[in-house]
C-alpha cells in the first residue's frame, strides 16, 4: 500500500492543469487523431449521401476497429468500452469493436526490468532466481513475464506497466473529453451524457493503472467466488507488488477459446463454460461484484479442469436494487408482461422517472413476441441482446455501465460455447439459477415476482411451479427446505389477503382432485365383474363427469404428486421441511386460513355430491 500511495487517480481538473499549457503537444496529437477519425467520418458522410450508410455499416465498423488499434492504448480501451454500449452503437459496430485485441508491440525488456527494481526497491537477482528474457504476453497497458521467486521457488507471473502510459492516456482523455463537450452541446441525436460516459470510462482505465488496486480486486474476488472447487483465482504476492508491478501466482492453463488444446487434456469446453456462467451469475446477481473484462485471454482452463480468472484491473458492481430487478425482468419476459418489463427500466436506472414508457411497450412486444415463440431452453442470448439493443438505440435509454458489462460478459461466454456446440444456449444454462433464486430468496421483489409467475387470472399455474422445481434442482445450491418459504411467509402476513384468497381456491381444487382421483383409482382397481355390476362398467365409475373434466382433474392430481415427488427426491430433502408449515398453521392467522380451506373443501365436495345425485 505504501508503494501505491502516489498512484494516480482520474481527475478532469488535474488533466486540464497538466495539458492545458502544452499547445504543441496537444496540436500534434490532435492532428493525429483528427486525420484518422476525420477520414472515417468523411466516409460515413459520403455513405449517407449515396444512400448506402446501412449497407456499409459492417465495412465501416471494421475500419473503425483498425483505426482504434493504430491510435494506441486509449483508443483500444475506448473501443472495448463502446463495444458494451448498445445505447450508443448499432449492432454491427458492437460486434466489430468487441473483437478489439489488447495485443500491442512490446516495450524494451531493459525498461521493464528497471521498472521492477525501481518500484520494489530490490535488484532482480535478490527477488527472482530466474525470469523470462522476453515477455510472454503484451497488452495495451503492460506486459507479463514468467519468473521464479528466489525465497520459495514459486513460479509467478510478473506484470509490468508500460512506460509513459499514464502520460499517453492522460493526454488522450483530455482531448476526448473536450470532444464530448462539443457532442453534448451540438449533436442532438445522441441523448446520453457523453462527458459523463467518458469520465466514468477514464476512471476505470486509471484504476487499471494502479496494480495494488488490481491485487485488492483479485483478493476480494477470490474471497467471494473461489469457494467453489471448480473456480481458481491466483494468489497475490504483496511483497513484490507496487503501483506499477504486480506479482501473482502463475496459472498453467489454456485459453478458453482454444477448444482443441482443451479437449486434448480430456476436458470439455462446455463444462468450463457452464462453470463460467454459474460463477458470472453469482457475481452479477448475488454479491454484485463482478469481473468486467471476461474476454478469452482472461479465462483459462487448467489441467485439473478448473476455470481460472485472470486480470482484475477492470471490475464493476451491480447495485442491490438492480440485482433483484434483473431477475424480475427475466420473469416478466417469460410472462410476456411487456408493461412490467418497461417499468423495470426505472428500477434498472435505464430511464429517468419522468420518461413515459408507453411508446416503448409496442417495441418490446414486437421483438419479444417473435423471440419468445421458442422455449426458454431454445432462446439465443445474442439474439435477445441484439434485439434489445435495437430497442435501446431507438429510445431515450441511458444504459448503466454495469448492465452493458453484464451483457458483454454473458455474450462472451455464449460465444465461447458456440464454438464447441452450435446449439448451446446461455439462457438455458442460466435458468436453473434464476429458478433457484425465485423459489428460495426472501427478498420482497423476488417474492412478488414468484407470486406473479405462479398465479394468473385467479388460477395457480402448477406447470410453472413444476418447471421451476425441475430447473431449480439442477442448481447445485438448491435447497428443497428453502423452496417456497418466502411465499408462505407472505401468505400469512398482513399484506397477503389477496394471495390467501387464491391459495384457498387452489387448495380446494387440489383436494377435490385428490379425492376424486382416489375414487377413480379405487374403481379401476375393482375386478371387471364388480365394476359392471355396480357402476355399469364406465371408466368414470360413479362420477358423472365429461371426459374433458375428468382429464383435467386427473392431470391436476398427477401434477401435484409430481411436484411433491420432485421435492422428496432432492438430495437434501428432509421431512422436517414441513415443520415450518405446521408451525405456521398453529398461529392464529394459520388456523383461520386452515378453517377457510376446510370449509371451502367441505362445500366443494358437498356440491359435487349433490351434483352427482341430481345428474343420476
Q: Is the pLDDT of residue 244 over 80?
A: yes
**To which residue does cell 530466474 refer?**
130
- Pairwise CA distance, residues 93 & 101, whole Å: 15
537 pLDDT band, cuts 50/70/90, is very low
Mean pLDDT to the nearest integer, 304-316? 90
- Pairwise CA distance, residues 504 & 518, whole Å: 21
- Pairwise CA distance, residues 102 & 81, whole Å: 13
Buried residues in 366-403 as b, exposed as e (16+ CB within 10 A): ebbeeebeeebeebbbbebbbbbbebbbebebbbbbbb
| Range in 82-86, 157-161, 168-172, 418-422 with the lowest mean pLDDT | 82-86
129, 237, 450, 565 from 152: Cα distances, Å: 10, 11, 53, 55
All three cell numbers of 79, joined, read 473501443
324 pLDDT band, cuts 50/70/90, is confident
Q: Is the pLDDT of residue 134 over 90?
A: yes
Which pLDDT score, from 0 to 100, does residue 223 have?
94
- Pairwise CA distance, residues 135 & 141, whole Å: 13
- Pairwise CA distance, residues 136 & 575, whole Å: 57
- Chain-centre distance for alpha carbon 177: 30
- Pairwise CA distance, residues 286 & 73, whole Å: 33
- Pairwise CA distance, residues 581 & 484, whole Å: 11
Average pLDDT, the chain: 80
Helix/strand/coil for 309: strand
Which pLDDT score, from 0 to 100, does residue 440 have?
81
Q: Which residues does 491 contact at the CB level (< 8 Å), separation at least 6?
A: 499, 500, 503, 593
Query: What sign does the dihedral 490-492-493-494 (CA atoms) show?
Result: positive
CB atoms within 10 A of CB 234: 19
Q: Is the pLDDT of residue 604 over 70?
A: no
Q: Looking at per-residue confidence, does 328 or 472 come out higher?
A: 328
Which pLDDT score, from 0 to 100, does residue 248 have?
96
Reply yes or no on whether 293 is catalytic. Answer: yes
Express each pLDDT in 194-228 by its tens digit: 888 788 778 888 888 999 999 999 999 999 998 88
Q: Looking at per-residue confidence, does 112 or 419 come out higher?
A: 112
- Pairwise CA distance, residues 69 & 89, whole Å: 18
Q: How many percent of the chain have pLDDT more than 70?
A: 77
Q: Looking at per-residue confidence, does 192 or 125 come out higher?
A: 125
Which pLDDT score, from 0 to 100, does residue 5 have?
52
- Pairwise CA distance, residues 17 & 21, whole Å: 7
388 pLDDT band, cuts 50/70/90, is confident
- Pairwise CA distance, residues 542 & 479, whole Å: 42
Which pLDDT score, from 0 to 100, does residue 543 have?
59
571 pLDDT band, cuts 50/70/90, is low
Give whichever of 86-95, 312-321, 438-447 has the largest mean pLDDT.
312-321
486 pLDDT band, cuts 50/70/90, is low
Express each pLDDT in 158-178 by its tens digit: 999 999 888 889 999 999 898
| Long-range residue pairs from 610-616, CB within 8 A, at least 24 positions apart, any chain | 611/544, 612/542, 612/543, 612/544, 615/544, 616/544
- Pairwise CA distance, residues 334 & 435, whole Å: 12
Which pLDDT score, from 0 to 100, does residue 527 have?
72
364 pLDDT band, cuts 50/70/90, is confident
CB atoms within 10 A of CB 335: 17
Mean pLDDT to the nearest integer, 438-462? 77
Q: Is the pLDDT of residue 587 over 70?
A: no
**To which residue does cell 418489463 refer?**
341
Q: Looking at per-residue confidence, does 153 or 601 come out higher?
A: 153
H, E, C per residue of 242-307 = CCCEEEEECCCCEECCCHHHHHHCCCCHHHHHHHHHHHHHHHHHHHCEEECCCCHHHEEECCCCCE
Q: Is the pLDDT of residue 501 over 80?
A: no
Q: Looking at per-residue confidence, does 60 or 404 come out higher?
A: 60
Output the pTM of the full model.
Answer: 0.73
| Range in 122-136, 340-354, 380-394, 460-474 with the lowest mean pLDDT | 380-394
CB atoms within 10 A of CB 505: 16
Express each pLDDT in 289-302 by its tens digit: 988 877 777 889 99
Q: Residues 87, 172, 293, 448: which is the catalytic one?
A: 293
| Range in 57-71, 307-321, 473-487, 527-541 with the lowest mean pLDDT | 527-541
CB atoms within 10 A of CB 349: 16
Domain residue limits, the chain: 2-101+167-207, 256-444, 479-614
- Pairwise CA distance, residues 391 & 356, whole Å: 15
CA proximity to 68, closest of 97, 89, 44, 43: 97
> For residue 160, which phi and psi values (nearest 5 degrees)?
-120, 135
Angle between helices 401-420 and 381-394 (to 10 degrees): 150
Per-position DSSP letters for 384-439, written without gaps between them: HHHHHHHHHHHTT----HHHHHHHHHHHHHHHHHHHH-TT--HHHHHHHHHHHHHH
Burial grade of 184 (CB within 10 A; 0-12, 13-18, 19 or more): middle
Amino acid at each position: 500500500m505504501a508503494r501505491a500511495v502516489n498512484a494516480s487517480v482520474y481527475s478532469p481538473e488535474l488533466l486540464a492543469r497538466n495539458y492545458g499549457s502544452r499547445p504543441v503537444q496537444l496540436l500534434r496529437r490532435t492532428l493525429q487523431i483528427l486525420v484518422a477519425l476525420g477520414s472515417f467520418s468523411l466516409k460515413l458522410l459520403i455513405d449517407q449521401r449515396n444512400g448506402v450508410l446501412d449497407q456499409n455499416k459492417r465495412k465501416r465498423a471494421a475500419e473503425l476497429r483498425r483505426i482504434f488499434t493504430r491510435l494506441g492504448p486509449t483508443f483500444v480501451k475506448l473501443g472495448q468500452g463502446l463495444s458494451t454500449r448498445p445505447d450508443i452503437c448499432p449492432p454491427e459496430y458492437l460486434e466489430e469493436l468487441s473483437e478489439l485485441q489488447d495485443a500491442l508491440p512490446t516495450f524494451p525488456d531493459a525498461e521493464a526490468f528497471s521498472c521492477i527494481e525501481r518500484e520494489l526497491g530490490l535488484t532482480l537477482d535478490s527477488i527472482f532466481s530466474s525470469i523470462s528474457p522476453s515477455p510472454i504476453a503484451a497488452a495495451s497497458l503492460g506486459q507479463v513475464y514468467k519468473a521464479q521467486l528466489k525465497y520459495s521457488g514459486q513460479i509467478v507471473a510478473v506484470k509490468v506497466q508500460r512506460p509513459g502510459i499514464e502520460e499517453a492516456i492522460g493526454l488522450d482523455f483530455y482531448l476526448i473529453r473536450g470532444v464530448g463537450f462539443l457532442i453534448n452541446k451540438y449533436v442532438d441525436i445522441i441523448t446520453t451524457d457523453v462527458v459523463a460516459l467518458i469520465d466514468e470510462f477514464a476512471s476505470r482505465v486509471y484504476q487499471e493503472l494502479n496494480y495494488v488496486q488490481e491485487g485488492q480486486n483479485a483478493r476480494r474476488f477470490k474471497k467471494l467466488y473461489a469457494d467453489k472447487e471448480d473456480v481458481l483465482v491466483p494468489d497475490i504476492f504483496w511483497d513484490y507488488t507496487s503501483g506499477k508491478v504486480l506479482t501473482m501466482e502463475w496459472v498453467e492453463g489454456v485459453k478458453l477459446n482454444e477448444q482443441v488444446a482443451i479437449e486434448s487434456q480430456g476436458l470439455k469446453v462446455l463444462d468450463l463454460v457452464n462453470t463460467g456462467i454459474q460463477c458470472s451469475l453469482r457475481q452479477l446477481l448475488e454479491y454484485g461484484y463482478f469481473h468486467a473484462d471476461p474476454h478469452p485471454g482472461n479465462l483459462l482452463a487448467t489441467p485439473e479442469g478448473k476455470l481460472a480468472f485472470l486480470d482484475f484491473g477492470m471490475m464493476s458492481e451491480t447495485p442491490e436494487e438492480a440485482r433483484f430487478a434483473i431477475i424480475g425482468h427475466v420473469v416478466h419476459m417469460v410472462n410476456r408482461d411487456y408493461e412490467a418489463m418497461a417499468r423495470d427500466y426505472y428500477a434498472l436506472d435505464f430511464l429517468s422517472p419522468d420518461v413515459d414508457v408507453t411508446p416503448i411497450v409496442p417495441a418490446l412486444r414486437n421483438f419479444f413476441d417473435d423471440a419468445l415463440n421458442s422455449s426458454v431452453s431454445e432462446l439465443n442470448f445474442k439474439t435477445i441482446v441484439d434485439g434489445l439493443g435495437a430497442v435501446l438505440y431507438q429510445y431515450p435509454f441511458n444504459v448503466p455501465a454495469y448492465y452493458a458489462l453484464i451483457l458483454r460478459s454473458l455474450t462472451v461466454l455464449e460465444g465461447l460455447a458456440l464454438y464447441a456446440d452450435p446449439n448451446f444456449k446461455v439462457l438455458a444454462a442460466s435458468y436453473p439459477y434464476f429458478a433457484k433464486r425465485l423459489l428460495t430468496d426472501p427478498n420482497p421483489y423476488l417474492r412478488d415476482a414468484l407470486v406473479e409467475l405462479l398465479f394468473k387470472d385467479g388460477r395457480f399455474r402448477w406447470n410453472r411451479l413444476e418447471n421451476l422445481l425441475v430447473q431449480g434442482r439442477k442448481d447445485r445450491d438448491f435447497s428443497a427446505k428453502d423452496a417456497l418459504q418466502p411465499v408462505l411467509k407472505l401468505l400469512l402476513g398482513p399484506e397477503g389477503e389477496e394471495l390467501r384468497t387464491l391459495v384457498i381456491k387452489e387448495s380446494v381444487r387440489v383436494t377435490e382432485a385428490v379425492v376424486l382421483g382416489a375414487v377413480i383409482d379405487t374403481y379401476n382397481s375393482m375386478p371387471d365383474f364388480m365394476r359392471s355390476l355396480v357402476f355399469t362398467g364406465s371408466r368414470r365409475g360413479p362420477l358423472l363427469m365429461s371426459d374433458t373434466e375428468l382429464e383435467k382433474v386427473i392431470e391436476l392430481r398427477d401434477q401435484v404428486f409430481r411436484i411433491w415427488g420432485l421435492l422428496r427426491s432432492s438430495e437434501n430433502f428432509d421431512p422436517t421441511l414441513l415443520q415450518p408449515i405446521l408451525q405456521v398453521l398453529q398461529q392464529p392467522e394459520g388456523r383461520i386460513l386452515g378453517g377457510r380451506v376446510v370449509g371451502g373443501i367441505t362445500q366443494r365436495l358437498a356440491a359435487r355430491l349433490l351434483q352427482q345425485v341430481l345428474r343420476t
